[in-house]
Amino acid sequence: MTEEYKDAYVLRCPYCGGTEMIQTFQSAYGAVSAVNNKFSGRPLYHTVCRKCGSVVRSYVKDPEKLLKRKDRKI
């Protein structure tokens, strides 16, 4: 079972109660960077409710990679 698949069924939309989620991701201009490391752009993933389209969750995969190499825990 992939991480995406698991996410899709654990969440419940707080707006309409829907439980079917669509995984989306945003890269390039939508990238997220740490404030002190602007070259660390990471794609932003969104979990979108299939029923009402609300973005239920937004997250970055491998958040440690946002940090400068010397500041990472792993």
Q: Which residues bind Zn ion (CB under 5 A)?
A: 13, 15-16, 18, 49, 51-52, 54
The least distance separating Zn ion from the CB of residue 67, rounded to whole angstroms, comes to: 33
Smallest distance, Å, CB 74 to Zn ion? Answer: 34
The 8-class DSSP code of residue 25 comes to E
Answer for the pair 23, 41: CB distance below 8 angstroms, yes or no: no
Which of residues 49 and 60 has its CB atom nearest to Zn ion in the complex?
Answer: 49
Min. distance of Cβ 13 from Zn ion in angstroms? 3
33: Cβ contacts below 8 Å, ≥ 6 apart? 39, 40, 41, 42, 66
